Chain A
Amino acid sequence: MALKVGITRFLGTNCDEDIRKWVLSKNHQAEYLWYEDRFDVNSYDMVILPGGFSHGDYLRCGALAAHTPLMKSVKEFAEKGKPVLGICNGFQILCEAGLLPGALLRNDSLRFKDELTTLTFKNTNNPFSKNAKTDQKIVLPIAHGEGHFYADSENLKKITDNQQVWLTYDQNPNGSLLNIAGVLNAQKNVCGLMPHPERALHTWMGSTDGEFFL
C-alpha cells in the first residue's frame, strides 16, 4: 500500500533528496516538511528524519533542530504511535528531542568516519525492520563524527531490559556503549540509527541491505 511519507527538512539537512528517492522507489508518496512549519499529524503515515548537519550542528548535533516548530508536530505524530525513523543526524535530533533515549557523543577517534560496517538486528519488532530476522547480519555504510551512543547505566539497563536495542555494530567504529548502532523508543514506533540504509539499495552501492528497512 502506498504510504504518505513526510521527510523533515531543517537548514543543513543534506540527505533529504536521497531519502525522497528511496521512498519514491517503493511507490510511496514523499513530501518535505519544513522546519518552521507544523503539520497535520493525521495526513501522514510515516515520518523520516534524514541525515545532515541540521542548523550547522551548532551547540550540539541535533540540539537546535530539536527545538523547532516542526519537531513539535513530529512529537505529536510519534505520540500517536505512528512510525518515525531517524537516520544519522535524524537519530541525533530524535535523541535531543527526547523521543529516543540516550545521546550521541563524538566518535572516540575524534574523527569523522565513513566506512562499511557489519551490523546485527537485535529487535525486529518495529515498523522499520519488518523484512529482517532477529540476529540477522547486514552491511551498511556509516558516515558520522558523532555516533558514539551513550546513556547512563540506569537508562542503559532500561534500554536493554525493554528490548530497545535495535541494531549493534559487530566491530565498534565509534565507542558506542554496548556497540549500539540503533535504538527504539519504549513503544517501538520511533526508531533511530547512525548507519545509512538509503546508501545501500543496489549492488553498485556496495550493499543492498537497506532493503530490510522500508
Chain B
Amino acid sequence: MSTDLAAKLKTYRLSEEEYNLMKQLLGREPKLVEWPLFSALWSEHCSYKSSKIHLRKFSYRNANTPDMDGENAGVVDLGQGERVAFKMESHNHPSFIEPVQGAATGVGGILRDIFTMGARPIMNANYLCFGELNAPRMKYLMNGVVKGISSYGNCVGVPTVTGQTNLHPRYNKNILVNALNVGYFAPEQKMALSKAKGEKNLVVYVGAKTGRDGVHGASMASASFDDDSDSKKPNVQIGDPFYEKLLIEACLEVLEKDYVVAMQDMGAAGLTSSSFEMASKGQVGLVIDLKKVPLRDSTMTAEDILLSESQERMLLICEPKNFEKLQATFKKWSLDAAILGEVQKDRKVKLMWGGEVLTEIDPDLIVEHAPQYKRPYSKWHYPNRVTKLNAPTANYQKLIEKLQKEMKLNSQKWIHNQYDQRVGARTAMDCSSSVAFARLDHTGRGLGLGVGCRPEVMLMDAEVGAFDAIYYPSLQMALKGAKPLAATDCLNFGNPQRPEIMSEFVASVEAIAKASVELDAPVISGNVSFYNETLGENIISTPAVGVVGLRDSVEEIIPDQFTQAHDHIFMVKLPWVESNIYADNFTGKKTEFTLNDTIKVADFIKICTSLDKSIKLEGLKVSSIKAVGLGGIGLTCLKMCTDQIGFDLSYDLALDAPEAAFKDHFYSFLIATGENAEKFEKFLKQHFEKCPVEIKKVGETRLNEIKFTNQLSMDLTDFRKTYQTGL
C-alpha cells in the first residue's frame, strides 16, 4: 500500500477492505470529495456496520406500532387518535471531551429526530453513567453534563421528566450520556416523512448557518479514545437551544400548513447523511450546490460543508409553488431558508460547487451497500450462575455508609432540580418518581416513561442484565398502573472487534428482543454506540432502554414514597434471579446469582399492571408502591422514606439476618397500606393467584425511625440529610 493511501485511510478512518469495496462500487478510484462521504456514511455511527445483522432481531411489531421503514423514530398508536414518536440516542464521546456542549447537543439532536417527524416534543429523559467521584475530571464532567442537559432542555421548553444516573469506575474514561425524547401527535396531526420525492421539487436548507464545528464528528464517535481526547474538541458541536426552539415552531408550522414534501434533520455527518438518506429512501436523485449553503465562515471547503455537524439545521423538500410561503414562515421565526438544489429523476446525488460538478453518486451505493460485518462472538453461557448463593459476610452498617459516600445511595435531587420538569403543564409525575407521567392533551390519559439498565447487573451477567434493562422499567411502569407499550434502546458497548464484547452485545440484543415480544412492547427505535473504549479499557456493556406506557388517567397515581406512619408494608416476590450485588462488591467477591428458568417474568408484569385497577375497584387504601431495587428490601425501604416517615423491618424475624433484608430479588415490590393486614394479604393473594409469588408482610412504616433488624438501625434525620446531598 502506498504511503499516500495509508495516510488517507487513517484520516478517513476506513479500512483497506472498505477502500476496495469503495473502488468496486464506484468502478474507479474514489475522487477526493468522495472520501469524506464514504468516511462519514460508512462510519460505525452512521452505518451500524457491526450491529445491523443483529438489530434485525428487533423486528417484532404489533397493531399499535406501525413499521416506520427506517424513519427517524418509532411511532406508537395510543388509540383515540393520539400517537407518540420516541427514541433514545447516545452522545457519549462528545460529552466526555466537552461535557456541557456534548450533553446539550445530545438533547438537541434527539429533539430534532422527533420533530422532524412532525411530532411536538413533550418529554425529555436521560440515562447517564459516570465514573467514581474521585476519578480525574469526574465532578467536572457530572456538573457539565447536567448543566448541558438542563440549559438546552429548559430553554427549548421541553420538560425533563425522568432519568437515571449510575456511577461505576468502569466509566472513568468513557462516560455515557443517552438522551431520550417523546413527541406527541394530536388527532389529525400529520406525520412527516424523510423520503425525498417529486422531480423538480426544491431541496431547501433551513435553520442555523453552517460552521466548522463537529466536522468529522461521526467518525470521531466511531473510534476509541487514546490519551489525547482533548485534541478532539473541535469535533464537538456547539448548540444553541434558542435556535432549536425557533426551529421546532417553524418546522411544525410549515408541516401543519402542508408546505413540506419531506423533512430530515442534519444530525451525524450533517448535510451528507441527510441528503444521501433522503435520496436513497425516496429512490430519487438530488442536485445540490454546496456554494448555496448558508455559512458562518466563508472560507469553508466543500468537505467542511459536507461534514459539518453544526446544530439546529434541517433539510427539506418542498414544491416550488410553496417555497415563498415556506420561506416567509421561517423568516417570521427569524430563520434562514435557502434553496440548495432540486430533486431529479436520475437516481444520483450530484454535488456541485457553483458550476463545477464535484461528484455524482448513486446514493444507494453509499447508504444501502455500506459494509456489514459479522463480528465473531460466542453463545452466552452464564459464567457467574450458581445453584445456591453463599451468605455474604458484609457489615451492612458500613456498606450503607460506603454507598452513601460514593453517592450511590442518593436521591439525585441535586440533578433533577436543575431540569425544568413542568414546562408544558402536563407533568403529573416528575423525576422524583420511578416512572414519569405526562397528561395527554386530548384524552387526559397518562403517558408513562421510564428508563432502565443497571450496570451492576450487566456486570454480573450480560443476558440477565439486558433482560433486566427492559423488565425492570416495565415492572415499575406496571406498578403505577400503566401498561408498557413499546421500548427504545441505546446500546452502549466497547470495542465490537473484541469477541467477548460482541458476545455481550449479541446476548443483550437477543434478551431485549425476547423480552419485548413477551411483554408485547416492541423495540421501535434505537441507537448503537460502540467503541466506548480508552486505551484498551472498555465500559461495562450498557444497553439502556426507555419504555413508554399508558394509563387511563393521571389522577391518583400511587407514589413511591411512604406517606403515613403505621402502614403495613407487604412484599410480593417472584423468585427469578437472586444475588447479593452490593454485598459482594463490598467484600470484593465476584457476584454470583441463581436463576430459575421456569419463571415467566412478563406474565408477572402483566398481572402487576392490573393491580392498580383492582386496588381502586375494591376501594383499598394504598399509600405507596415501589419495585425492590438492588440492596433488597432494606435499601428500597430507605429510598421510600420521607423526612418524617421511616420504617421498621424487625417485625419479620425471617429478615433478622441482615443478608435476608438486603438480598437482591428480581423481581419483587413493596406496597404500603393502611388497610387491615389480613384483609390486604388476602386481596394480594387473590390478585396474584396465577403467579408463583411469595406474599408476606415485611414491616411497618414508622414516624422518625429506621430499623432494619433488631441489631441494625439508623437515625432518619441523619440519613435524609445525607440522602439529599449532591455535588
A contacts, CB < 8 Å to B: 11-12, 14-15, 17-18, 21-22, 51-53, 55-58, 111-115, 141, 143, 145, 196, 198-199, 201, 203-205
Pairwise interchain contact A53-B425, C-beta atoms closer than 8 A: no
Closest CB in chain A relative to B606 CB, distance in Å:
25
By size class, the interface of chain B is 20 to 34
Assess A143 versus B154: contact at CB under 8 Å? Given A11-B246, A113-B417, A115-B417. Answer: yes
Pairwise interchain contact A114-B242, C-beta atoms closer than 8 A: no
Assess A204 versus B428: contact at CB under 8 Å? Given A11-B334, A53-B245. Answer: yes
22 pairs, A vs B, C-beta closer than 8 Å: A12-B155, A12-B246, A14-B157, A15-B157, A51-B423, A53-B241, A53-B242, A111-B147, A111-B418, A112-B154, A112-B418, A114-B417, A114-B418, A114-B420, A143-B420, A145-B154, A199-B425, A204-B439, A205-B422, A205-B425, A205-B427, A205-B428
Q: Which 9 A-B pairs have the closest CB atoms?
A: A14-B157, A56-B242, A18-B425, A143-B420, A204-B554, A204-B428, A53-B155, A199-B422, A112-B418
Assess A11 versus B333: contact at CB under 8 Å? Given A143-B154, A204-B439, A205-B428. Answer: yes
B150 interfacial contact with A, CB 8 Å: yes
Interface centre among A51, A56, A198, by most chain B C-beta atoms within 10 angstroms, is A56
CA distance A56 to B240 in the complex (A): 9
A contact patch SS:
mixed
**Which residues of A sit under 8 angstroms from B242, Cβ to Cβ?**
11-12, 53, 55-58
Assess A204 versus B555: contact at CB under 8 Å? Given A12-B155, A14-B157, A196-B422. Answer: yes
B81 interfacial contact with A, CB 8 Å: no
Residue in chain B with minimal CB distance to A141: B422
Residue in chain B with minimal CB distance to A55: B242
State which residues 396-435 of B face A: CB under 8 Å. Answer: 416-425, 427-428
Residue in chain B with minimal CB distance to A111: B418
Interface centre among A15, A18, A112, by most chain B C-beta atoms within 10 angstroms, is A112
**Which residues of A sit under 8 angstroms from B579, Cβ to Cβ?**
none
CA distance A143 to B416 in the complex (A): 11
Pairwise interchain contact B423-A18, C-beta atoms closer than 8 A: yes
**Which residues of B sit under 8 angstroms from A18, Cβ to Cβ?**
423-425
Interface centre among B157, B424, B439, B554, by most chain A C-beta atoms within 10 angstroms, is B157
State which residues 496-532 of B face A: CB under 8 Å. Answer: none
Pairwise interchain contact B423-A14, C-beta atoms closer than 8 A: yes
Closest CB in chain B relative to A21 CB, distance in Å:
6
CA distance A196 to B439 in the complex (A): 18
**Which residues of B sit under 8 angstroms from A51, Cβ to Cβ?**
423
**Which residues of B sit under 8 angstroms from A111, Cβ to Cβ?**
147, 417-418
CA distance A12 to B246 in the complex (A): 7
CA distance A172 to B333 in the complex (A): 37
Residue in chain B with minimal CB distance to A14: B157
**Which residues of A sit under 8 angstroms from B421, Cβ to Cβ?**
114, 143
CA distance A111 to B143 in the complex (A): 10
Closest CB in chain A relative to B473 CB, distance in Å:
21
**Which residues of B sit under 8 angstroms from A14, Cβ to Cβ?**
155-157, 245, 423
Residue in chain A with minimal CB distance to B428: A204
CA distance A196 to B423 in the complex (A): 9
Residue in chain A with minimal CB distance to B334: A11
Pairwise interchain contact A15-B240, C-beta atoms closer than 8 A: no
Q: Known contacts A18-B423, A114-B420, A143-B420; can you find 11 more A-B pairs with CB under 8 A?
A: A12-B245, A21-B425, A53-B155, A111-B147, A114-B416, A114-B422, A196-B422, A199-B422, A204-B439, A205-B422, A205-B428
Closest CB in chain B relative to A19 CB, distance in Å:
9
Residue in chain A with minimal CB distance to B553: A204
Residue in chain A with minimal CB distance to B431: A114
Pairwise interchain contact A112-B240, C-beta atoms closer than 8 A: no
State which residues 612-643 of B face A: CB under 8 Å. Answer: none
Closest CB in chain B relative to A14 CB, distance in Å:
3
B563 interfacial contact with A, CB 8 Å: no
Pairwise interchain contact A112-B150, C-beta atoms closer than 8 A: yes
Closest CB in chain A relative to B250 CB, distance in Å:
10
CA distance A112 to B554 in the complex (A): 27
B488 interfacial contact with A, CB 8 Å: no
Closest CB in chain A relative to B721 CB, distance in Å:
16
**Which residues of B sit under 8 angstroms from A17, Cβ to Cβ?**
424
Pairwise interchain contact B422-A143, C-beta atoms closer than 8 A: yes
Closest CB in chain A relative to B711 CB, distance in Å:
37
**Which residues of A sit under 8 angstroms from B155, Cβ to Cβ?**
12, 14, 53, 56-57
**Which residues of A sit under 8 angstroms from B157, Cβ to Cβ?**
14-15, 52-53
**Which residues of A sit under 8 angstroms from B240, Cβ to Cβ?**
56
CA distance A53 to B154 in the complex (A): 9
CA distance A196 to B427 in the complex (A): 13
B495 interfacial contact with A, CB 8 Å: no
Interface centre among A53, A55, A204, by most chain B C-beta atoms within 10 angstroms, is A204
CA distance A189 to B416 in the complex (A): 35
Residue in chain B with minimal CB distance to A9: B249
B151 interfacial contact with A, CB 8 Å: yes
State which residues 231-269 of B face A: CB under 8 Å. Answer: 240-242, 245-246
CA distance A90 to B246 in the complex (A): 18
Residue in chain A with minimal CB distance to B153: A112
Closest CB in chain B relative to A120 CB, distance in Å:
21
Pairwise interchain contact B425-A143, C-beta atoms closer than 8 A: no
Residue in chain A with minimal CB distance to B424: A18
Residue in chain B with minimal CB distance to A36: B332
CA distance A149 to B473 in the complex (A): 41
Residue in chain A with minimal CB distance to B437: A204
Closest CB in chain B relative to A41 CB, distance in Å:
24
CA distance A143 to B440 in the complex (A): 22
**Which residues of A sit under 8 angstroms from B422, Cβ to Cβ?**
114, 141, 143, 196, 199, 205
Pairwise interchain contact B151-A112, C-beta atoms closer than 8 A: yes
**Which residues of B sit under 8 angstroms from A114, Cβ to Cβ?**
416-422
Pairwise interchain contact B555-A203, C-beta atoms closer than 8 A: yes
Closest CB in chain A relative to B113 CB, distance in Å:
20
CA distance A141 to B427 in the complex (A): 12
Residue in chain A with minimal CB distance to B246: A11
Pairwise interchain contact A113-B418, C-beta atoms closer than 8 A: yes
Closest CB in chain B relative to A81 CB, distance in Å:
30
Closest CB in chain A relative to B324 CB, distance in Å:
19
Closest CB in chain B relative to A9 CB, distance in Å:
10
Residue in chain A with minimal CB distance to B146: A111
CA distance A11 to B246 in the complex (A): 7
**Which residues of A sit under 8 angstroms from B555, Cβ to Cβ?**
203-204
Residue in chain A with minimal CB distance to B427: A205
Closest CB in chain A relative to B559 CB, distance in Å:
11
**Which residues of A sit under 8 angstroms from B424, Cβ to Cβ?**
17-18
Residue in chain A with minimal CB distance to B419: A114
Closest CB in chain B relative to A173 CB, distance in Å:
9
**Which residues of B sit under 8 angstroms from A11, Cβ to Cβ?**
242, 245-246, 333-334
Interface centre among B241, B334, B418, B557, by most chain A C-beta atoms within 10 angstroms, is B418
**Which residues of B sit under 8 angstroms from A52, Cβ to Cβ?**
157
Residue in chain B with minimal CB distance to A210: B425
Interchain CB contact (< 8 A) of A143 among B156, B423, B439: B423
**Which residues of B sit under 8 angstroms from A141, Cβ to Cβ?**
422
CA distance A53 to B156 in the complex (A): 8
CA distance A58 to B241 in the complex (A): 12
